[in-house]
Chain A
Amino acid sequence: MATSGEPVLEVSGLVKHYPLTRGVLFKKQIGAVRAVDGVDFTLGRGETLGIVGESGCGKSTVAKLLCNLERPTAGSIRFKGEDITRLSGRALKAVRRNIQMVFQDPYSSLNPRMTVGDIVGEPYEIHPEAAPKGDRRRRVRDLLDVVGLDPDFVNRYPHQFSGGQRQRIGIARGLALRPEVIVADEPVSALDVSVQAQVINLLDRLQTEFELSYVFIAHDLSIVRHISDRVGVMYLGRIVEIGRDAEIYEHPTHPYTQALLSAVPVPDPDARQDRERIILSGDVPSPTDIPSGCRFRTRCWKARERCAVEVPLLAVPASFEEGPAAHDSACHFAEEKRVVPPESTQANGNGPG
């Protein structure tokens, strides 16, 4: 979907540190988990921004910050120009209507003692101005219909539904207040393969129907590519590379993005031989003890002295003036490297379908 006009969301310098304390009576801060450590991005109207990264990279914390479920340690989140991190009370409540979340686990994010009708209609209890009381029942039924569930299910309980159906309930709840932005945190990763495609198609259709902007957080790179206009790659609390989907997938310049893409198994046995895989050594460092300089350097095969001293900024590297490689990448030694085989093997007549 095309981007137009000014962004719906502008995130700059976003930081979330969770203090680590010691002692019961006299709590002393002895460190911090630097979950999100300086994140900047914008989200255009009607756009989908995918955020990928491995566990512990801070992508879910970003989601919580966007929905104001957590307060940032520093930085700002502007929704149509207004910094929502400084709002409180009534003003905050009004903004929250416009940014809704769809959670990962449809098993734990629905209250088992509430009926589907109550779950989907609950946002109206909190924001009564969104729908007059007499109209709510009808709206809930409409919402169920929109997400592909039988409206007669309103009196059923979550346990009577499958995972995919529950995720539809979660999506219906997210739509209830007619938000402009939906933050979806791993919305399909708990679902069976054959059901994932159904939910992705639903999200795609709803985006057009309700003119939504999505922040789509996931670890499955092929699904993110399918749904996103732009993609940001996170590592240890920061975005290390961001750009249009083709720029990231076909012309990655950050070594972490290259390793991540090369590690994804390709569903084509013929690609086994001609694939180059970058196998990273070691594990992700702890977010309580982030390496100096470039945070990826401890696992990077290109690391030199400069990387330990100087933090690379997220900007278009000077070596690329134009073309698809010229997008933001936080690496001192950014270099283009194609790691995903061109799709010709799948696009020709041999592929399934």
Chain B
Amino acid sequence: MLLEVRDLHVEFRARDGIARAVNGVSYAVDEGETLAVLGESGSGKSVTAQAVMGILDMPPGRITGGEILFQGRDLLRMKEEERRELRGARMAMIFQDALSALNPVLSVGEQLGELFTVHRGMSRKAARARAVELMDRVRIPGAAQRVRDYPHQFSGGMRQRIMIAMALALEPALVIADEPTTALDVTVQAQVMDLLAELQREYRMGLVLITHDLGVVADVADRIAVMYAGRIVESAPVHDIYKAPAHPYTRGLLDSIPRLDLKGQELYAIKGLPPNLTRVPAGCSFHPRCPMARDVCRAEVPPLYEVSEDRGSACHFWRECLDGDER
């Protein structure tokens, strides 16, 4: 396994108490595989990724338990220098907002080239040549001229390509993309996702795609982990989950997508709001919003039940949900 997150716990000290942003998350990604981590804001999907990358702000954040195994070694036990060597070279991250992730006072050529001078000890001239190659690779027109331009001189889609180029420059084994296309228009989103998928196939890297968009997930993912209030509530191969979700939250998300045959009717809406992380409901954290909730849901935290060999659901009544007649 390329990356294995095991029972990760992350807390934040907030004004009104301790926010358990990540509350026992486990997932795994293999080489060449795409895992989509799906969740709403506050579900803990980005915090988990930041913990994996080692870029979590601590304090206020604190990792209170768990392991993150990268190619078999626990990242949480490594020295900061070791992690710094891995970061960029073996594992890389693509952020949502390229404009704030890139340095505004360095040309994109300098930022791309820096990877090669720092990690590979190349000369500045050779590094610049590699930067041009990379920009070409992510299909930036006129790369040789544009290598001297600054981030603000590029459009949003082009900036995202530069971030992808930066992430892939040293051919990492693992790439984490945090909402890489959320800020982009649909036609540009299609271009960027296409490029990312193509490069992933080529380099056989493991990709963790963090998103809230069920459409994007269906397009590119092999597996999905659905997160809610700091926990994984369902984990399954992509085809299974869209056919028959085994958790009422997943079912609710899928049902609230507008569908042609239901036009003119009311959309299915999950009632209520995601919980405040300092006051997560007892038992199953989804129970106040769940149409299937019963007494046991208010009392007992559901474990991740084994639905099938490669599928899990954290719902006491996953069987009922899977059969899908109750809502």
Contacts and interface: CB of A to CB of B under 8 A. Distances in A.
B213 interface: yes
A193 B253 contact: yes
A222 B238 contact: no
A259 B41 contact: no
A170 interface: no
B289 to A, nearest CB: 8
Contacts of A197: 256, 267-270
B261 A283 contact: no
A272 B219 contact: yes
Contacts of B191: 279-280
Nearest to B254: A352
Nearest to A198: B269
A352 B260 contact: no
A279 B190 contact: yes
Contacts, number: 132
A234 to B, nearest CB: 12
B155 interface: yes
A266 B215 contact: yes
Contacts of B218: 265-269, 271-272
Interface-central residue, A194, A201, A280, A282, by most chain B CB under 10 Å: A194
Given A343-B259, A346-B259, A347-B260, A264 B269 contact: no
A353 B327 contact: yes
B54 to A, nearest CB: 28
B79 interface: no
A204 interface: yes
Interface string B228-251: 000000000011001111000001
A265 B258 CA distance: 13
B19 to A, nearest CB: 16
Interface string B243-284: 111000001111111111101001111110110000000000
Contacts of A350: 243
Contacts of A196: 256
Contact of B187 (A226, A263, A267, A270): A263
A106 to B, nearest CB: 13
A281 to B, nearest CB: 8
A60 to B, nearest CB: 14
Contacts of A223: 258
Contacts of A204: 266
A38 B188 CA distance: 25
Given A194-B40, A267-B254, A353-B268, A346 B239 contact: no
A203 B266 CA distance: 10
A200 interface: yes
Interface residues of B, number: 52
Contacts of A201: 266-267, 269
Contacts of B155: 283
B25 interface: no
A269 B34 CA distance: 13
Interface in B69-123: none
A111 B38 CA distance: 33
A54 B214 CA distance: 20
Nearest to B191: A279
Given A279-B190, A280-B187, A352-B251, A194 B242 contact: no
B187 A54 contact: yes
Contact of B158 (A260, A279, A283): A283
Chain A CB count within 10 A is highest, among B189, B193, B256, B324, for B256
Given A264-B186, A265-B219, A270-B242, 20 more contacts: A54-B186, A54-B188, A165-B273, A192-B40, A192-B212, A194-B40, A198-B270, A201-B266, A221-B186, A223-B258, A265-B215, A266-B215, A266-B219, A267-B217, A267-B242, A269-B221, A280-B187, A346-B260, A352-B245, A353-B251
Interface of A: 54-55, 162, 164-165, 192-198, 200-201, 204, 219, 221-223, 225-226, 245, 259-260, 262-272, 277, 279-280, 282-284, 343, 346-347, 350-353
Report the 8 A-B pairs with minimum CB-CB distance, sorted nearest first: A265-B215, A226-B258, A54-B185, A197-B269, A263-B190, A352-B254, A197-B256, A197-B267
28 contacts: A54-B187, A162-B273, A165-B273, A192-B274, A193-B214, A196-B256, A197-B256, A198-B271, A200-B267, A204-B266, A219-B185, A222-B258, A226-B258, A226-B263, A259-B187, A262-B190, A265-B189, A265-B219, A267-B214, A269-B219, A279-B194, A280-B187, A280-B191, A282-B141, A283-B155, A283-B157, A347-B260, A353-B254
